[in-house]
Amino acid sequence: MPGRSLVRLRLQPAFLVSLLLLPFCLQSRAAGNSDWDYEETHSDSREFASGGMLHIHLGVGDLHVRRGDSAKISLHYTVKSRHEKNVKEAHVDFDVRGRDATIEFHAPSSNTQFDVELEVPQNTNLDVHAKVGDLTVDEVEGDKDLDLGVGNIHVRKGQSGYSLIHASTGIGDVNSDGYGETSGWLGKTLKYRGEGKYELRAHVGVGDIRLEDK
């Protein structure tokens, strides 16, 4: 039947995404319900120019980026695992070169999680790539390119707003406050053009995106 064929064609990409990301989903659920046997907490900070670009690469864990009150990137994180060796071998590369900074979280095993709190200058452009976890951005002015495999993205805007928003999910919802209507079925897409200064691009493979106008 033509109708059934059309349904199968529409479902196929979604099923492929689900199959590819299923191991990350299971891993994230196990991590969320686990009592970690070992954990360590660390802090670091670096001077950073306002208006610079910050690149973040994270495997498993929650990431919260919020606006700070100084010209610094302040990093606070806890690494957790069921095995002490994994905690000891996990490390973070934190590099600042002028107006460009990179933070990369390295885990020796998938059974290791980083929970991260970051304070950045009020005007900071963000380029974030993460696999599993929740990503929250609080009132940071600047362009944002946010890519997450499995989890939820929550963005609270700053004062200047956006000239362009393109938010999408492979499987999940896009919820927005004041940015128009979404389209799509299993996955949702939101496209918006406004009078603000910055661009926001956000994508989640499996999970939801929430955008707050205030």
* pLDDT, tens only, 138-164: 999 999 999 999 999 999 877 778 999
What is the model's pLDDT at position 2?
45
Is a pLDDT exceeding 90 seen at residue 31? no
State how far the Cα of 112 lies from the Cα of 211, in Å rounded to an integer.
29
State how far the Cα of 7 lies from the Cα of 202, in Å rounded to an integer.
27
**Selected residue with higher pLDDT from 4 and 196:** 196
Output the six-digit token pair for 15. 């099923």
What is the model's pLDDT at position 10?
43
Is a pLDDT exceeding 80 seen at residue 76? yes
* pLDDT, tens only, 120-138: 999 999 999 999 999 999 9
Instruction: Parse the chain into domains and list their residue ranges.
Output: 32-212
What is the model's pLDDT at position 23?
55
Give the side-chain half-sphere CA count within 13 A for 134.
11
What is the model's pLDDT at position 3?
43
Asked if 116 and 105 count as a contact pair (C-beta separation under 8 A), the reply is: yes
Asked if 200 and 193 count as a contact pair (C-beta separation under 8 A), the reply is: no
Burial tier of 169 (Cβ tally within 10 Å: 0-12, 13-18, 19+)? buried
Burial tier of 161 (Cβ tally within 10 Å: 0-12, 13-18, 19+)? middle
State how far the Cα of 189 lies from the Cα of 185, in Å rounded to an integer.
9
Asked if 125 and 142 count as a contact pair (C-beta separation under 8 A), the reply is: yes
